[in-house]
Chains A and B, each alone.
Chain A
Amino acid sequence: MTPDDSSDAQLVRQFQAGDPKAFDIVVRRFQDRVFRLACVWLYDEQQAADAAQEVFLRGYKGLRSFRFRSTPFTWLYRTTRNVCNEFNRRRRHEPLDAPRADPAAAPERDATGYETARRVRELVAVLPERQREVVMLRIFEDLSVRDTASAMGCREGTVKALLHKACKRLKIDLDKMGIRP
C-alpha cells in the first residue's frame, strides 16, 4: 500500500512519526476542500488561498499532537473556520478603498470557481450560522452525520434537527432564487 492509499489517520500517524512526505499527502488530499470552504466564507479567492495556507501551516504544528478523538478533516475544518473568522475580523478593520482581488482578472477556471462559490454563499447566506454550517458540511462536503456533529462540536440529533430546519427554509428560498426545489 503506497502512502497515497493510506487512510487519513494513518497518514497523520506517519507524519507524527517524522515522515515529512506524509504531510505533503495530507495537504494534497485536503487542500481542495479547505480552499472551497474558505472561498465560501471569505468570498475572495486570493484570501481563500492565504487562509488555506495558514490552515495547513497550523496543521503542520497542530497535527503533531493530534489525539485521534475525531477525524483529521474534522480538525482541519475547525481550524479553517477559525482562520476564516480571523480573516473576516481583520477585513472588517480594513478601509473600504483597500485594494481587493479582482475576480475578472483571474483565469477562467478560477473565475468559474469564484462564481460557484458566490452562488453557494448566496444560497446559505439566508440561514443562521449553525444551519449554514450543517448545510456546508452535510450537503456540500458530504460528511456523515457523525463527522458533522464532531466538526461542529454538537450531538448527532442536533445536526439532524438543524439540517431539517435548513432544508425547510432553503426550499422557500430556492423558489425565491429561481432554483426549483
Chain B
Amino acid sequence: MSEDLERLKDDYRRIEAPPYLAMRIAALAAERRARRRRWPALAAAAGLTAAVLAVVTLIPPERPVPAQAWTAPSYARLSRMTPDRPPMAPPGLGSLKGVTTPAMPPKPALSRPQTPQSFFDTGDETRKETENEYA
C-alpha cells in the first residue's frame, strides 16, 4: 500500500457518526420496546371491539316503515268499499232441526158464546140499578 492510500485509510477511519445518532437510535429502540409491550393490550382491546361490532352487526335491524303522505279518501271509493271479512253463510233451517221447544199450551175452549141478544139486553147492570132503587 502506498503512503497516500494509508493516509486516506487513516482519514477514512477517523470519520465518526454524528453524536446524536446513538441517542436517536436508543430513543427509537425504547419506543419500539414500549410498543411491543403495548401490543397485547391493544390486541385485546381490538378483539373486544371487533366482537362487539360483530354482535351489533348480526342483530337484524328493524324494517323501516315507509313514510306515506296522507290523502283524503274519496267518498265515491268509500261507497264502493265492502268490508273485508270472510263470507258467512246464513244459518239454514236444517241446523235448527235439533232444537227442541216447549209445546204450546192448548187453546182454551169457550163455554158459551158471548153474543149480545138485543140492543137493550144489558144483563146484570140493569138489575143492579133496580136493586139500588129499592135499597
Complex contact A60–B16 (CB within 8 A)? no
Check B1 for interface membership: any CB of A closer than 8 A: yes
Do most interface residues of chain B lie in helix, strand or loop, or is the interface mixed?
A: helix
A180 partner, pick from B4, B15, B22, B33, beta carbons under 8 A: B4
Check B3 for interface membership: any CB of A closer than 8 A: yes
Complex contact A35–B17 (CB within 8 A)? yes
Complex contact A174–B33 (CB within 8 A)? no
Complex contact A53–B14 (CB within 8 A)? no
Complex contact A20–B5 (CB within 8 A)? no
- In the complex, what residues of A have CB within 8 A of residue B1's CB? 139
A174 partner, pick from B2, B25, B26, B29, beta carbons under 8 A: B2
Check B48 for interface membership: any CB of A closer than 8 A: no
Complex contact A27–B26 (CB within 8 A)? yes
Q: How many chain B residues touch the partner (CB < 8 A)?
A: 25
Complex contact B30–A174 (CB within 8 A)? no
A140 partner, pick from B3, B9, B28, beta carbons under 8 A: B9
Flag A109-141 by CB within 8 Å of B: 1 or 0 each: 110110011011001000000000000000110
Complex contact A35–B21 (CB within 8 A)? yes
Complex contact A36–B12 (CB within 8 A)? yes
Check B13 for interface membership: any CB of A closer than 8 A: yes
Check B116 for interface membership: any CB of A closer than 8 A: no
Complex contact B2–A116 (CB within 8 A)? no
- In the complex, what residues of A have CB within 8 A of residue B33's CB? 20
Check A49 for interface membership: any CB of B closer than 8 A: yes
**CB nearest neighbor in B for A35:** B17
- In the complex, what residues of A have CB within 8 A of residue B3's CB? 180
A167 to B: closest C-beta gap in Å: 8
B17 partner, pick from A31, A174, A179, beta carbons under 8 A: A31
Complex contact B12–A35 (CB within 8 A)? no
Complex contact A120–B28 (CB within 8 A)? no
Check A57 for interface membership: any CB of B closer than 8 A: yes
- For the complex, what is the distance from the CA of A23 to the CA of B33, rounded to whole Å? 12
Given contacts A20-B29, A27-B22, contact A36 B13 (CB under 8 A): yes
Given contacts A35-B15, A117-B15, contact A57 B25 (CB under 8 A): yes
Check A32 for interface membership: any CB of B closer than 8 A: yes
Complex contact A28–B4 (CB within 8 A)? no
- In the complex, what residues of A have CB within 8 A of residue B11's CB? 112, 116, 119
- In the complex, what residues of A have CB within 8 A of residue B8's CB? 116, 119-120, 123, 179
**Would you give 6 A-B contacts (Cβ < 8 Å), ordered by A?**
A27-B22, A32-B17, A34-B17, A35-B15, A57-B29, A180-B2
Residues of B at the A interface (CB closer than 8 Å) are: 1-5, 8-9, 11-18, 21-22, 24-26, 28-30, 32-33
